[in-house]
Amino acid sequence: MASRTDTTRTDRTLDFLRRGYAFSDAWRRELSAVDPRSVARIPLRLLGGRALLVRGDEGVRLFYDTSRVKRHGAMPLPVRGPLFGAGAVHGLDDDEHRHRKAMFVSLAYDDAQVARLLPLVEEQWRRAVDRWQREGSGDVYETAVLAYGRAVMTWAGIEVPEVEQDVWARRLAQIVDGFGALGPQHLLAWVNRARCDRWAASLVRRTRAGELQPPEGTALRVVSEHRDLQGRLLDEHTAGVELQNVVRPTIAVSRFAAFAALALRENAWWAPRLAAEADERGTLAGGREATAFAEEVRRVYPFVPMLPSIAREDFTWQDQQIKAGDRILIDVVGTNLDERHWDSPRTFDPRRFLDVDRESVEHFIPQGGGDVRTGHRCPGEKIAVGVLAITVAALSRPGLQVDPRNLSFDVTRLPTKPHRARVLAGH
């Protein structure tokens, strides 16, 4: 077929790096006239090998079919190295993955664990709003990094002085900021990965030696005591990596916090509704409309452009011949904005998420899809939505106004966020 020949002749890795989040849409526009079915899949050559970029419900089902695809070796080292760390759950498959994943589910997906974290986040945001009102302004992203970092570390049993929590929160945030960048920020992400690995491994070592006594059920305690399928404790390095993989994703929600400020600026009529909801409930946490607003932020604004897997065997899918070893990539941004599945997909409308179970919407995959317990869906989604809903409610408080300056973002920068999301107080 013409589209197969046209798209697989030249390696498109540099094109992806140049176009960023716009990569898949650009290719679909170019191919649609040749093959209308290309809206759901694009055969390509990436990283020197064959690849298939898929989107929508059918693409999600393929990508999360663990009988056909695997994760080990799929993510390129320059990405997985600084972001996830060596030996992380993200690169495991089958029984080994399910066993390790169960630990994360018990920590991040359990309702009681989420309920334990949210008041800590709310306390941090109330402190931040008070400070903004005293000082007249504040930076949303930087505030979120520290608010989420302090709260999630305390929740995880990492009870060190707040100034130390801030240092590690900023380093973990920089890893997320720099893993997909080119140049000095990427190199700094590797430096911070090494620093954070040593720090987290020392926390595990001290916990096992009895020097630290994190409470039962906290991440530091659970990860330090976790055993593999052979009954062996994880080595200190791997345990430290997984401890970070519990803590860092919450800090990464700071990027969505900055986008939430942009969304509130562009949809200002929501702020009084969200403020009234918080006042009526007496808390920033758990608001029905704030939660829907948070979900829509996650759908509309870009974070992860795509996720990779590798075909386990030869098979045919939608007339495409897939060979064992081919990369299969899910187009995360394209699926969240797929016009076949969403009404007016590029219109920001939180009402589409009112009283909707996000996991029942197959084509909603801002943090992955499939089943939380058996697949590769992020178990921290409840936490991400919960802390972002608190943030949305906090940003909607009376007397706060999002500064309209510098809210644009660069779609070629991975990951991206508004250049500067700033709140003005007392206006």
Higher pLDDT, 91 or 143: 143
E-strand ranges in 37-90 read 41-46, 49-54, 69-70
Please tell me the total count of domains within the chain.
1
pLDDT of residue 53: 92
Q: DSSP E strands: which ranges in 106-244? A: 137-139
Omega within 30 of 0 (cis) for the link into 43:
no
Q: Which of 78, 79, 85 is nearest to 194 (CA)?
A: 85
Give the residue numbers spanning the domain of 8. 2-425
pLDDT at residue 37, as a whole number: 54
Backbone phi and psi for residue 357, each to the nearest 5 degrees, phi listed first = -80, 110
* Under 8 Å between Cβ of 271 and 264: yes
DSSP state of 140: H
Distance CA 279, CA 289 (A): 13
- Of 21-30, 45-54, 145-154, the one with minimum mean pLDDT is 21-30
Rounded Cα–Cα distance for residues 371 and 285 (Å)? 26
Over range 65-69, report the average pLDDT: 93
Tokens of 260: 């939430």
Q: Which residues pair with 43 in a beta bridge?
A: 52
> Within 13 Å and on the Cβ side, how many CA atoms surround 39?
11
Give, to the nearest 10 degrees, the angle between helix 254-266 and helix 288-300.
100
What is the structure's pLDDT at 359? Answer: 86
Read off the CATH number of the domain in which 242 is found: 1.10.630.10
Contact 100, 227 (CB under 8 A): no
**In this model, does residue 176 exceed pLDDT 50?**
yes
pTM: 0.94
Rounded distance between C-alpha atoms, residue 325 and residue 310, angstroms: 6
Is a pLDDT exceeding 60 seen at residue 36?
no
The conformation of residue 235, written as its DSSP 8-state character, comes to P
Q: Kindly tell me if the per-residue pLDDT of 149 is higher than 60.
A: yes
pLDDT at 2 over 70: no
| pLDDT confidence bin for 277, thresholds 50/70/90 | very high
- Asked if 260 and 388 touch (Cβ cutoff 8 Å), the reply is yes
For residues 354 and 366, what is the distance between their CA atoms, to the nearest angstrom?
17
pLDDT of residue 91: 87
Dist CA 293 CA 394 (whole Å): 13
| pLDDT of amino acid 3 | 41
pLDDT-based confidence at residue 1 (cuts at 50, 70, 90): very low
Quote the tokens at residue 265. Answer: 């600026």
Give the start-end residues of each E strand in 60-196: 69-70, 137-139
* Neighbour tally for 393: CB within 10 Å: 28
Contact (Cβ atoms closer than 8 angstroms) between residue 123 and residue 391: no
Chain centroid, CA 110 distance in Å: 18
73: left (phi over 0), alpha (psi -120 to 50) or beta: left
Taking residues 276-295, what's their average pLDDT?
Answer: 98
> Distance between CA atoms of 140 and 420, rounded to whole angstroms?
8
Over the chain, what is the mean pLDDT? 92
